[in-house]
Amino acid sequence: MDVTEEVVRNIAELVQLKVDDADIQQLTEGMQNILALADQMQAINTEGVEPVSNPLDASQKLRPDAVTEENQRELFQSIAPATESGLYLVPRVVE
């Protein structure tokens, strides 16, 4: 995949990051380099090899269905920029 400046702007928008125009070129080059590395790895023959999504040969440990968390709203909201009636306030979003 070709990483163009357009692709970088699109990704920035998807993740809601504000990117200065001045940084776009550098980011584009950086992402091109990352994908070039991936392309290099693509050259390896992986026929018949199971995809590995995790390096640990283990299965997930599970947790019993029990409440172990206490209400720490006051603590968490002490660092929130804006709260009201127990809610976190964020810039208005309406679909």
Partner 1 sequence: MSGEWEVVIGLEIHVQLSTISKIFSGSSATFGAEPNTQASALDLALPGVLPVVNEAIYPKAIAFGLGIGANIGARSCFDRKNYFYPDLPKGYQITQMDEPIVLGGEVEITLADGTAKTIRVTRAHLEEDAGKSLHEDFHGMTGIDLNRAGTPLLEIVSEPDMRSAEEAVSYAKTIHQLVTYLSVSDGDMSQGSLRCDANVSLRKKGADAYGTRTETKNVNSFRFLEAAIKYEVVRQTEVLESGGKITQETRLYDPDKDETRPMRSKETATDYRYFPEPDLLPVIIDDAFIAKVRDSMPELPAQKRARFHTEMGLTDEDSRVLSSELGLATYFEDCVNICSDPIMAANWVKGDLLGGLNRDNIEISDSPVTAQAMAAIIVRIQDGTISGKIAKNVFNAVWEGKTDSVDDYIQSEGLVQVSGSHELEPIVDRIIANNPKQAEQFRSGKTKVLGFFVGQVMKETAGKANPKQVNDLIISKLND
Residues of this chain that bind partner 1 (CB under 8 A): 10, 13-16, 53-54, 56, 58-69, 71-73, 76-77, 82, 84-95
Closest distance of CB 21 from partner 1, Å: 18
Q: In angstroms, what is the C-alpha Rg of the chain? A: 22
Closest distance of CB 95 from partner 1, Å: 4
d(CA 4, CA 27): 10
Within 13 Å of residue 91, how many CA atoms lie on the same side as its CB?
1
Closest distance of CB 90 from partner 1, Å: 4
CB 51 within 8 A of CB 58: no
Cβ proximity to partner 1, 11 vs 28, nearer residue? 11
Q: Which residues are bridge partners to 9 per DSSP?
A: none
Cβ proximity to partner 1, 45 vs 60, nearer residue? 60
